Amino acid sequence: MHWAALVLAGLTVASAEEPVVITAGRTRLTMGGEPLTVQLESDGATVAGAHAAGGLLIGDPESLETVRIESVGYNRQGHRVLAVRTASGKRARVTVALTPHQADVTVLPEEPMAVLLRLAPMAPGFGLGDHAVTKRASFDTDITGYREDRFLSGTGLTRLISNFAYYPKQKFAFLVWEPGMKMVRSTAEECAQGSRKAEGEVRFSLFTGSAKEIYAQFLESRNLYGYEVMKPKYEFFGVGWEAFGALAWDTNYKTVAENVGEYRRRGYPLSWMVVGSGFWPRADKRFHETTSFGMYDNNLYPDPKAFIAQFHALGMKYFQGLRTTFIVDGPYSEEGVRNGYFVEEDGKAKVFQFGWPKSPCYFLDWRKPEAVEWFRRLTRKWVEYGVDGFKEDVFGYEKYTLGDDKLDPVNAALMREGLYVMGRNAYLASPADLHRLNDFNYNQQQDRGPVNALAYAYSGFPLVYPDIVGGTFGEGHFDLKVTPKMRAYMKRNAMWAAVHPSMSMGQGPWTFGDPEVEEVLLKAAQVHDRLQPYFYSQAVRFSLDGYPHPMTPLPVAYPGDAQVYGRENERVRGYEWLIGDALLAAPLYGNDYETAQTRDVYLPAGPWMEYDTGVRHEGPLMLKNYAMPVAKTPLFVGGTGVVVEKKGSGLVARVYPVAKEAQVEFIHPDGLSRSVIRVKVGDWKAAEVRGAKAGKVEASWQRHALEFGIVAGENYEVR
């Protein structure tokens, strides 16, 4: 049967001469012409323009061909279906579905081939996860000029993968749902994405609307199409400690306990810790991996249950490193091979050579539910000792074309178990409590960190943990010379980390021989700890509506403000973002950390107060050469002015006098309980607080804000 007849068999067939026009609410999608082009409009204005040279291309990835429509019909769901072909005879079926904020274009080629959807160029664009900082001429969150026709994890720093590309000025976002090798282009010539080898249906999504509408639709589709976004857990949003930053691989029950104990004695409010490696039996290389489930070195960790229990007694969560690589002659590998749980090639378990482990290894086949379940059961051998969760850490696979989603099902299974997961690999999904920046060290170009972190937020990964304060000094076994530059680095890096959703400590501040290093790092940790409940509330909100509340880049929050663009780069270093709807983070950071003492800080429209001093400013305003001493908390308060912080053993709402009317919903540390706080104040000098159940609530002015205690389930009004 002719291909066009085959793909449209049983459908109502319409004319292919006229363009296909579909509308949903205010949104209109047009596909037609020869070659076929694609255009998206909203409210009569073009959102994504048609590319004049053709919008859908198929065939060989090095010589793609445009298509024309042969016939048009409807499927049983009422969606439009197009049969298309190239001049050389290649064919595909195209199914189109439209809602008011999303167009899905699903392409099924008649045989495996490349598929590319192309639109007119637009700028600026943002997103792309880790790829935003690889193969770029400079560090910049704006992805204009980006082109990569072999877009896949493993090259350079790329582990957290998202090809979600967002264009705030156009109210548009775009991606192809493809865990395999992709083509991604955002250049002066085109805005295009595609699959390098589609072996079945390949789906494209075009989003339109406000930022909140686009991110909500993206979240709905992520969950619908198998890229689940899961609710994170509270403790990971506090201050942590990573053994790799402090001790490298040379860990044991004494050194870990001593280092953590020293931090706590010095007032550091640690809530979680990671021993990532080195705990497995050392005598035999077959056990030199984190898949030696339930095994510890008898000399270095003689009583692991008691070792972990001491940290639980301090109120800390204890995590270990975890990988889905199995040394070929290691424990459990024979069982995995026998049951077909590893990735296979030519009917046999494939042997890989990753960056770690150094020994040849197998890789868990994430596409087989029975393999994932086996792995989950094995992790319980560690959980029985008291391990609360895992730092997922697969890396060094750049020479292999493994799917970008290779850790998603495993991490999701652990999260469903109630375990904590520090995510390091993912494709579009968020089956983790944190999105960990790929190793960001003291000896790297320092603009990479803030650009990488902001790219995560644009991409749908806003639970940003920016790596250990200072990086991994432990790798050098402390043979680094402490210099004034190193001390300056530690102070700036700590304050930058403090205003992210999570932060952690490594190399002891007391080892730098500088009281100011100790003072600044302790303050940074205490600021972050105080804001932990506020950060966590924003994280849960993200899991519910998709918007990057924990770390909102200014072009997302203020797309119509021309002054927020062109600043998140190594030239301007205007690294700013909103935290929720009341805080603006503006840390002084970048490769000039040693000498810079001021920054140009942009405050969007509305009143803003300096977090430390209460000094007021009225935006929109560019604070030129704004002084940023190393000990200054790089935060401003604006928006709703409602921030919830820790105080003693409870929580307090701090309402700053910046909004006469506001309403926020705070989500408590249990992830479920809510408190609505309403503000309606004409005279702040006469302001009082009432609880819906408790009546009048005691409040007082503390640190430039009206402060009062809150409890789960109670609502409050400031009037």
Give the H/E segment covering residue 336: helix 333-338
Residue 15 pLDDT exceeds 80: no
Residue 13 pLDDT exceeds 90: no
Q: In a 10 Å sphere around its CB, with 0-12 CB exposed, 13-18 middle and 19+ buried, how is residue 477 labelled? A: exposed
DSSP codes joined into one string, 453-487: HHHHHHHT---EE--STT--GGGGTT-SPP-HHHH
Q: Is 703 left (phi over 0), alpha (psi -120 to 50) or beta?
A: left
Other CB atoms within 10 A of residue 688 CB: 14
Distance between CA atoms of residues 66 and 84, nearest Å: 10
What are the structure tokens assigned to 43, written together?
């409210």
Give the residue-averaged pLDDT of 128-143: 96
Which of the residue ranges 277-281, 472-476, 618-622 has the most confident prediction, judged by mean pLDDT?
A: 618-622
On average, the pLDDT of the chain sits at: 95
Residue 190 pLDDT exceeds 90: yes
Give the residue-averaged pLDDT of 243-263: 93
pLDDT confidence bin for 10, thresholds 50/70/90: very low
Percent of the chain with pLDDT over 90: 92
The alpha carbon of 429 is separated from its chain's Cα centroid by a whole number of angstroms, namely 9
pLDDT confidence bin for 583, thresholds 50/70/90: very high
What are the structure tokens assigned to 282, written together?
């050392």
Q: What pLDDT is recorded for position 475? A: 58
Q: What pLDDT is recorded for position 12? A: 45
DSSP codes joined into one string, 659-698: -SEEEEEEEPTTSS-EEEEEEE-S-GGG--EEETTTEEE-
Give the H/E segment covering residue 195: strand 191-198
Distance between CA atoms of residues 277 and 244, nearest Å: 8
Q: What pLDDT is recorded for position 18? A: 85
What are the structure tokens assigned to 558, written together?
């203020």
pLDDT confidence bin for 442, thresholds 50/70/90: confident
Q: In a 10 Å sphere around its CB, with 0-12 CB exposed, 13-18 middle and 19+ buried, how is residue 696 labelled? A: exposed
Q: Which of 79, 291, 137, 106 is nearest to 205 (CA)?
A: 106
Which residue matches tokens 């409010």? Answer: 269
Alpha helix segments (H runs only) across 129-187: none
Superfamily of domain 234-322+368-547: Glycosidases (3.20.20.80)
pTM of this prediction? 0.96
Distance between CA atoms of residues 512 and 493, nearest Å: 14
pLDDT confidence bin for 481, thresholds 50/70/90: confident
Distance between CA atoms of residues 318 and 664, nearest Å: 33
Give the residue-averaged pLDDT of 480-490: 87
Q: What pLDDT is recorded for position 451? A: 98
Distance between CA atoms of residues 585 and 499, nearest Å: 6
Compute the radius of gyration of the chain from its Cα atoms: 27
pLDDT digit string, tens, across residues 593-606: 999 999 999 999 99
Q: Which residues contact 268 (CB under 8 A, 6 or more apart)?
A: 239, 505, 522, 525
**What is the 3 state secondary structure string of 38-107?**
EEEEECCEEEECECCCCCEEEEECCEEEECEEEEEEECCCCCEEEEEECCCCCEEEEEEEEECCEEEEEE
Torsion of CA 587, 509, 465, 268, to 10 degrees: -100
Side-chain-side CA neighbours of residue 343 (13 Å): 17
- What are the boundaries of each domain within the chain? 3-224, 234-322+368-547, 642-718
H helices, E strands: number in the chain: 12, 48
Give the H/E segment covering residue 710: strand 705-710
Give the residue-averaged pLDDT of 77-90: 96
> Which of the residue ranges 8-17, 547-556, 622-631, 665-674 would you say has the lowest mean pLDDT?
8-17
**Same fold: 3-224 with 234-322+368-547:** no
Distance between CA atoms of residues 131 and 571, nearest Å: 20
pLDDT confidence bin for 52, thresholds 50/70/90: very high
Distance between CA atoms of residues 341 and 334, nearest Å: 10
Q: Which residues contact 300 (CB under 8 A, 6 or more apart)?
A: 251, 252, 253, 278, 279, 282
| Amino acid identity, position 245 | G
Distance between CA atoms of residues 395 and 675, nearest Å: 41
Residue 115 pLDDT exceeds 80: yes
Contact in structure between 596 and 590 (CB atoms under 8 Å): yes
Torsion of CA 207, 208, 210, 211, to 10 degrees: 30
* Coil/strand/helix, residue 321: strand
Which residue matches tokens 């030129």? Answer: 624
- Domain made up of 3-224: CATH architecture: Distorted Sandwich (2.70)
**How far lies 294's CA from each of 190, 291, 329, 361, in Å?**
52, 9, 17, 19
Percent of the chain with pLDDT over 70: 97
pLDDT digit string, tens, across residues 289-300: 999 999 999 999
Residue 2 pLDDT exceeds 50: no
Length of the chain, in residues: 719
Contact in structure between 378 and 295 (CB atoms under 8 Å): no
Residue 6 pLDDT exceeds 50: no
Give the H/E segment covering residue 413: helix 408-416
Q: What pLDDT is recorded for position 474? A: 55
Give the residue-averaged pLDDT of 628-655: 98
